[in-house]
Homo-oligomer: A and B are copies of this chain.
Amino acid sequence: MTGRPPAPLRVAMIGHGFMGAAHSQGWRTAPRMFDLPRAVEMSVVVGRNPETTRRSAEKYGWLTSATDWRAVVERDDIDVVDIVASGEAHAEIAITALKAGKHVLCEKPLANTVAEAEAMADAARASTGLAMVGFTYRRVPAVQLARQLVADGKIGAVRQARAAYLQDWLSDENAPLTWRLKKESAGSGALGDLGAHIVDAVQFVTGESLTAVSGTLRTFVHQRPLVDRAVGLTGTASGTDLGEVTVDDAAIFSGELSGGGLATFEATRFAAGRKNGLRWEISGSAGALAFDLEDLNVLEYFRFDDGDTAGFRRILVTEPSHPYVAAWWPAGHMLGYEHGFSHQVVDLVTAIAAGKQPRPSFEDGLQVQRVLDAVERSSGDRARWTSVG
Q: Residues of A at under 8 Å CB distance from B?
A: 18, 21-22, 24-25, 28-29, 32-33, 59-61, 145, 149, 155, 159-160, 162, 164, 167-169, 171-173, 214, 216, 218, 220, 250, 252, 254, 260-262, 264, 266, 268, 270-277, 281, 283-288, 293-302, 304, 306, 308-316, 318-319, 321-322, 329-339, 381-385
Contact = CB atoms under 8 A, between A and B. Distances in A.
Contacts of A21: 33
A255 to B, nearest CB: 10
B167 A218 contact: no
Task: Give the number of copies in the complex.
Answer: 4
B332 A171 contact: no
Given A159-B220, A162-B164, A216-B214, A383 B254 contact: yes
Given A173-B285, A266-B264, A334-B294, A272 B309 contact: no
Contact of A329 (B319, B329, B337): B337
Contact of A338 (B216, B261, B329): B329
A313 B316 contact: no
A288 B272 contact: yes
Nearest to A164: B162
Contacts of A149: 309
Contacts of A162: 164, 266
19 contacts: A25-B32, A28-B29, A32-B59, A32-B61, A162-B164, A172-B285, A172-B304, A173-B285, A216-B254, A220-B262, A272-B287, A273-B310, A274-B332, A275-B332, A296-B334, A306-B313, A333-B336, A383-B384, A383-B385
Nearest to A339: B336
Q: Secondary structure of the A side of the interface?
A: mixed
A33 B304 CA distance: 28
A284 B262 contact: no
Contacts of A286: 171, 272
A385 B378 CA distance: 11
A25 B18 contact: no
A40 to B, nearest CB: 13
A139 B69 CA distance: 40
A334 B337 contact: yes
A272 B28 contact: no
Contacts of A332: 167, 274-277, 293-294
B311 A314 contact: yes
Contacts of A288: 271-274
Contacts of A337: 329, 333-335
A38 B155 CA distance: 46
Nearest to A265: B264
Contact of A252 (B145, B262, B275): B262
A316 B275 contact: yes
Given A276-B333, A311-B314, A311-B316, 4 more contacts: A275-B319, A276-B331, A294-B316, A383-B385
A68 B252 CA distance: 50
A361 to B, nearest CB: 26
Contacts of A268: 160, 283
> Which of A60, A260, A309, A335 counts the most B-chain CB atoms under 10 A from its CB?
A309
